[in-house]
Amino acid sequence: MDYKKAGVDVEAGYEAVRRIKKFASATMRPEVLTGLGGFSGAFSMEAYKKMEEPVLLSGTDGVGTKLKVAFLMDRHDTVGIDCVAMCVNDIACAGAEPLFFLDYIACGQNEPERIEKIVSGVSAGCIAAGAALIGGETAEMPGFYPPDEYDLAGFAVGIADKKNLITGENTAAGDVLIGIASSGIHSNGYSLVRSVLPMDRGFLDTYDEKLGMTWGQQLLVPTKIYVNALKAVRESGIAIHACSHITGGGFYENVPRMMPDGMTAVIDRKTFPVPPVFEALKERGGLSGKDMYGTFNMGLGMILCVSEKDADCAAAAIEKSGEKAYRVGHAEAGTEGVVLC
């Protein structure tokens, strides 16, 4: 008996590291002081000494059961983008610039080619967010995960000057809510998706005219990364009063999180288009509007709150960054947190 016979192939691990080094290298920033393969990653803070009161912000998340679709489709090059997006979007909506990212892959069997594809997506996400991939871990865990399955999670760290943090405390009645379009389901609600749709390769390979692609392609569209859109608003000199990343729990859970006590976000559902995938899920599952808006992003992956005078400029900055912006509602006095009308 040896380690390999017990199910852990150390040589495959070495090969996986060799394959992924090029993807990590593509994300490097000048502040990174270490290379991939060490026991830790080092990142210099020298460039941020001029901030009045630098604050580090962190976020961690995973891809969730969307991975089940990746397993069925045997496609692993997009879920890494989801992993990065879920982490960096959370810290970006607090006003931070993402600095670096670490990933964690736990698998039943280390297949270097599959690990390479996963990390290629992580790298693409890091490049889009401007974050360096400075480390990670691939854990081979036979008997814990099936040979052809894995879990993927990540951790991001960003920085902001304390005076520029988005806290919601400056939100006032009459402020405008601006929604930024999502790319689809993103990486939340897949337990419901998998209970509504047939989860087999035959169905996933079925082309749907309303979607303009197969169901498998639709369900693996990666999560949007909103770092550059929010940065564009800040660099336009606009103060973002509040911001919410619309993830698990949809509108009902996430929008109230950005509102201070005594304020309500009023969102007009007629002001933005709902992508066809959500209409299809609602019809196939016989889901109510409450179910849909309480689970999915319904076409808006991020919602920010700005003053009325800044609303048009904020929307223009978002559009210039390459994203689609909608004026979707306003803030008013109230205790409901969010009202959809």
Q: Which of 5-14, 57-66, 76-85, 169-178 has the lowest mean pLDDT?
A: 5-14
Rounded to an integer, the average pLDDT of 57-79 is 97
State residue 24's pLDDT score: 85
The closest of 160, 156, 141, 275 to 208, measured between CA atoms, is 275
Asked whether residue 3 carries a pLDDT value surpassing 80, the answer given is: no
* Portion of the chain with pLDDT greater than 70, in percent: 97
**pLDDT, position 12:** 76
pLDDT tens digit string along 252-278? 999 999 999 999 999 999 999 999 999
Q: What is the pLDDT of residue 36?
A: 75
List the CATH code of the domain at 10-164: 3.30.1330.10
pLDDT of 11 above 80: no
pLDDT at 71: 97
Mean pLDDT within 60-69: 97
State the Rg of the chain over Cα. 21
Q: pLDDT higher for 53 or 11?
A: 53
The closest alpha carbon to 186, from 320, 69, 96, 327, belongs to: 69
Mean pLDDT, the chain, rounded, equals 94
Mean pLDDT of 287-305: 97
At residue 1, the pLDDT reads 62
Per the listing, tokens 């729990």 go with 249
Higher pLDDT, residue 247 or 4: 247
Over pLDDT 90: what percentage of the chain?
A: 90
The residues of the chain that CATH labels 3.90.650.10 are 176-340
Domain(s) of CATH 3.30.1330.10: residues in the chain: 10-164
Superfamily of domain 176-340: PurM-like C-terminal domain (3.90.650.10)
pLDDT band at 206 (very low <50, low <70, confident <90, very high): very high
Kind and range of the H or E run holding 144: none
What mean pLDDT is predicted for residues 109-113? 94
- pLDDT for position 19: 86
Average pLDDT value for residue range 216-245:
97
pLDDT in tens, 18-28: 888 888 889 99
Residue 79 above 90 pLDDT?
A: yes
Ramachandran bin of 273, using left for φ above 0, alpha for ψ from -120 to 50, beta for the remaining angles? beta
Read off the pLDDT band of 2 (50, 70, 90): low
Taking the C-alpha atoms of residue 155 and residue 150, their distance in angstroms, rounded to an integer, is 17
Q: What pLDDT is attached to residue 4?
A: 66
Q: Which residue, 292, 286, 61, is CA-closest to 189? A: 292
Maximum alpha-carbon separation in the chain: 71
pTM for the whole structure: 0.95
Are 301 and 180 within 8 A, CB to CB? yes
Query: Does the pLDDT at position 189 exceed 60?
Result: yes
Among candidate residues 237, 230, 203, the one with its CA nearest the CA of residue 217: 203
The predicted pLDDT at position 258 comes to 96
pLDDT tops 60 at residue 5:
no
